[in-house]
Structure 1
Amino acid sequence: MKKALIFGVSGQDGAYLAQLLIDKGYAVCGTSRDAQVSSFQNLIRLGIREQLKLESVALNDFRSVLQILNKFQPDEVYNLSGQSSVSLSFDQPVETFESISLGTLNVLEALRFIDRPIKFYNAASSECFGDTEGKAADETMPFRPKSPYAVAKASAFWQVANYRKAYDLFACSGILFNHESPLRPERFVTQKIVSAANRIAKGSKEKLYLGDISIQRDWGWAPEYVKAMWLMLQQGQPDDYVIATGESCKLEDFVAAAFACVGLDWRDRVVIDTSLFRPTEIAVSKGNPAKARKKLGWQAHYKLNDNAVVQMMLQAQAELVNGRKTAAYNKERDKYLGLATAF
């Protein structure tokens, strides 16, 4: 039985990755800063809370990282930990940099120190590219980060590349573009929109306050993206990959689709609030997943343009409020889980 260690298991990607690995027969250990008090709601929601081991680990503490690696002795390590909000990074730049860059460095140094054949995945981000100016970013495009979060992710990416070359570690970075799901917390704009649309459809008189809705992003479906993480560690040689749909949409399109799905006109309920604009913003972001398609056999099946992502998030949000699962959502869930194991 293979063993996988997931730093940051309580988040969206960590929970879906844990589910995927458990389904594949792995023994999984997930970490959070304090596992004794963490609710692990995403794991509970996916029905896997009792199927993995949970440990407390602080990635900014080298001793803590080294201890869990020696204790669990994993075959694969996935680093999904760190402050994950771009907006919050402008308010907490030091915390953001330390949790992402220093945390990644501690894992790399611990892997080098224990000197066992462990495969390592690092979560990089499309934010590292900055504004792609309408071009589809691939692995050769230079980084031009425009936020403290992006700077931290870029630093971690180059640390991984350096350790791979200097110390012959099997270390990969996945440069993932935006990927959404019902497990997104409401501080992320897509979930904020979906939650508000559902409440308003049920009779709420509130207005939805948003920042710049002209921005364009390459949005995908998170359960598909974690499969790409796993695939990277199944290759003969370590490498970095852009993971994206290859299409970009305006945030306005996401808003319009969400409200249309519940029979409303978004223009009646949305207010543009300039105080929500970021100090620096990426106007257009789009990825080129050709390398992942060719070498990993991976491609995105769900895209924002076909409204599938919006519809599944709305359905899941409604079910969470109602405390039930509908046949329609279960059918979609089975569909994407089938895709996750189809390769």
Structure 2
Amino acid sequence: MGSDGEGNWYTSLAHQISMYGVAAGYCLSASLLSIINKWAVMKFPFPGALTAMQYATCTAAVVLCGRLKLLEHDPLDLKTMWRFLPAAILFYLSLFSNSELLLHANVDTFIVFRSVVPLFVAVGETLFLHQPWPLTKTWASLATIFAGSVLYVITDYQFSFMAYTWALAYLVSMTIDFVYIKHVIMTIGLNTWGLVLYNNLEALLLFPLELLIMGELEKMKREIKHDSDWHSFQVILPVLLSCLLGLSISFFGFSCRRAISATGFTVLGVVNKLLTVVINLVIWEKHSTWVGTVGLLICMLGGVMYQQSTSKPNNAAKQENEEEQLKLVD
């Protein structure tokens, strides 16, 4: 009896340690992701190449873990790849505009525009996926997000046309991406890791096209020609961390969703954003004014209200969890 009780105690303790460890890993990864991406794109100002390396890291990790039987993903199929191509293009555009936004604006601006996305996704789901219009309390949460974003924008002393152009591009691409990804998930029949693999692999294959269209290849050639420090440790480190954090947030995100309740995961999401804001205020000189920070916090409050107003049973929420996990480096 004593040994059984002791064994149960150790099992319970190990479970608690594992659960808190996973939650801590997710919080750390998610809160640092935007900061590290900002650091990476400042040191390595080639958004297309940076996102391509992130795609490559995630693709290689999924394939390797699949070979080691650590996870299961759907096999690659040319017909499925062709069907998935529009989603991959949208995914590429959303992450590319994400990197460009971080290059031209501060992290606060990124968080605000990311928080506004659900407002437009709600409309898109109703118009194109034939979902019912959101409930009144959901509209209230979306209005709160919108009010916070307006407060932030009108007090943004670092306002620049280029930054907000990319912010709008990010908002549009993310909205279309979220709506279309939901359509793909409902119709294409891939499992979660299959979606991640197809998404990242096809986005990676689009990288050469982006090099030509955006002229990034010429910029990189000039950097190499002038013998810049792009290959130095101070550049390689943030780029490497950016790639690893994108992979880390996927792993801890899946593990965390299994280990804790949906409400607990929502609370962690709030903690992540708060940590991001705090870290941003501490390490960067360029961030929002205190009024802008209040607007940012209002956006986050609206995000909490939105998640609570749209909470669903576990089975219904599982599909939406898969959509979120496709955003490995968002």
TM-score range, shorter chain: under 0.3
TM-score by length of 2: 0.28
Q: Greater relative contact order (Cα 8 A, min sep 6): structure 1 or 2?
A: 2
The structure whose residues are more often helix, as a share, is 2
More strand by share: 1
Please say which structure displays the higher CA radius of gyration.
Answer: 2
TM-score (norm 1): 0.27
